Amino acid sequence: MTVEEFIQALNEKGIQLTEQQINQFEQYYHLLVEWNNKINLTAITEKPDVYLKHFYDSLMPLWMAPDYFKQNATLCDVGAGAGFPSIPMKIVRPDLDITIVDSLNKRITFLNLLAEELNLTGVKAVHGRAEEVGQDKAHREQFDIVTARAVAALNVLSELCLPLAKKGGYFIALKAQRADEEIVKAKKAIATLGAKFEEQISEMLPIEDSEREILVIRKTLETPKKYPRRPGKPAKQPL
């Protein structure tokens, strides 16, 4: 996907990028490649692939599930790595208040620099395991939206993400394939953590025609205090 194709594709989805936003994506790409030589951020570094598989892909929830992204919503992105999906969303939706959680301090350093270089305000990077951040009163049940992109299976992700969502908020998981089996396996975890499965939305990624799915889970009750469990436990012993 060329830059021109990216701009046109977003335009067709009702997103008209300003010159500043176009420049921010360009700057994002160059910083990503530069820092990828220092720390492992992504295996995808070719420009057309970054624009399609990282930038465009990250933005898909904004038009696939627009009703969940209210004006000035607080969003927590768990395990964002190089900033996906939250930083592309922030570029397009400056009103969003973004908190990014990542366990590797080098990635936090990159994210802080990225926000500064792109002149993005309302972006906070938190160094820590999701299990620990989810037990921190400063972050627990504080967010309208919690996102995660290709981090883990849904039953594991639910325990990492749902404790961060406020009651009435949403956990939105971005998946790269059909997730029917994951949804079935995560049913118990979702209920245990005080949530309900809301909907499953699919759309094809252009050019390569591969499927993308968004799974929306609504937080209906407060999460029991014992969740999330200690670091590593959700992955080793999923609910």
Mean pLDDT, rounded, for 111-135: 97
Burial of 183-202, coded b for 16+ CB within 10 Å and e otherwise, reads bebbeebbebbbbebbeeee
d(C-alpha 31, C-alpha 35), whole Å? 6
Query: According to CATH, what is the number of the domain 3-236?
Result: 3.40.50.150
Binding annotation = 79, 84, 130-131, 149
Whole-angstrom Cα Rg for the chain: 17
Residues 103/109, Cβ–Cβ less than 8 Å: no
Residues 65/216, Cβ–Cβ less than 8 Å: yes
Mean pLDDT, rounded, for 171-183: 90
Tens digits of residue pLDDT in 106-115: 999 999 999 9
Mean pLDDT, rounded, for 44-70: 96
State the pLDDT confidence band at 178, using cuts at 50, 70 and 90: confident
State the pLDDT confidence band at 192, using cuts at 50, 70 and 90: very high
Model-level pTM?
Answer: 0.95
Tell whether the torsion through CA atoms of 233, 225, 190 and 187 is positive or negative: positive
Binding annotation for S-adenosyl-L-methionine = 79, 84, 130-131, 149
Which residues fall within 8 angstroms of residue 29, CB to CB, at 6 or more apart?
Answer: 47, 50, 51, 55
